[in-house]
A and B are shown apart, each in its own frame.
Chain A
Amino acid sequence: MMDAAVFYAFAALAVLSALVVIAQRNPFYSAFALIVTLCSLSVIFALLGSPFIAVLQVIVYAGAIMVLFLFVIMLLNVRREDAGKGGARTMGGIATGLVVLLVLQVGAVLVRLQPGPATGFDASTKKMAQVLFSPQFLYVFEATSILILAALVGAVALAKKEP
């Protein structure tokens, strides 16, 4: 009962701050609203029984990726965005978004997820490590480390000033 109350509270917070992300003109405020969304999602992950992913979300997503976004926003001194010209593009965008929302909600109703096995869902760090380092996912794990290396080199190369 307590869990459900916390879930609905943080779900509402997540949706509200997502609305701020897409509606706010100043990218700085959008970034902070996104951080709020990420942290509330982290709480929801923990409620769904995944403490490791919850903490990982805060450490990597809210704590590192968003710092990167904020740095770029501050360094490029991004100003408030001007009001859109209105017109066909905005209307088309809103229409597409609403259609997507409708389609997805129909899909959600049709899928009707069951709560899952009654006991024994153990997503602790130890279990996660056992799955991550098992032969099923070990190769993918090592490949992502090379992916990160490639992204690192690529980012430095792209953003470097021409001498």
Chain B
Amino acid sequence: MENPAFVHHALVLSLVLFALGTLGVFLRRNVITVLMCVELMLNGVNLAFIAFSRAAGTLDGQVLVFFVIVVAAAEAAVGLAIVIALHRHRDTLDIDAFNVMKG
């Protein structure tokens, strides 16, 4: 297919998404929302990979995106299991409540 002119703009979009995700990770106090902001960052990275892959003309970037998606799935599963275990312990999902290693 012929080259789209917006490949660079896709890169800019990916960086905006990554920055928004970082902002969310710092600002939010709910553990699950923090996890969702991490997923947002991962998506920004995926878009950057696809944009670079398109620019370079090779498929390696897309294969890496495939693996990033798979690993993100595994990470989301384990992360949410940890959230469930934490909730069972402290009965709250506020990040500030988990500042003690004990108990």
Smallest beta-carbon distance A6→chain B, Å:
10
List the A side residues contacting B81 at CB < 8 Å. 154-159
Smallest beta-carbon distance B52→chain A, Å:
7
Smallest beta-carbon distance A88→chain B, Å:
12
B interface residues, tally (CB under 8 Å): 72
**CB nearest neighbor in B for A57:** B69
**CB nearest neighbor in B for A80:** B30
- Tell me whether A148 and B74 are in contact in the complex, defined as CB-CB below 8 angstroms, given that A3-B4, A41-B46, A107-B15 are known contacts: yes
Binary B-proximity of A68-101 (CB < 8 A = 1, otherwise 0): 1100110110100110100000101110111011
Report how far A60 CA is from B72 CA in the complex, Å.
Answer: 10
Interface of A is mostly: helix
| Interface contact B69-A56, CB-CB below 8 Å | yes
For A56, give its contact among B21, B35, B66 (CB under 8 Å): B66
A-B contacts, 22 of them at CB < 8 A, read A7-B10, A14-B17, A18-B16, A18-B21, A37-B40, A37-B43, A41-B43, A48-B51, A53-B46, A56-B66, A61-B73, A65-B72, A72-B32, A84-B29, A100-B23, A113-B55, A116-B56, A121-B54, A147-B70, A150-B74, A151-B73, A159-B81
A residues with CB within 8 A of B: 3-4, 7-8, 11, 14-15, 18-19, 21-22, 27, 30-31, 34, 37-38, 41, 44-45, 47-50, 52-53, 56-57, 60-61, 64-65, 68-69, 72-73, 75-76, 78, 81-82, 84, 90, 92-94, 96-98, 100-101, 104-105, 107-108, 111-121, 123, 127-128, 131-132, 137, 140, 144, 147-148, 150-152, 154-159, 161
Please provide the 10 A-B residue pairs with the shortest distance between their CB atoms, ordered closest to farther: A97-B23, A93-B26, A22-B24, A151-B74, A101-B19, A158-B81, A115-B3, A155-B81, A104-B15, A159-B81
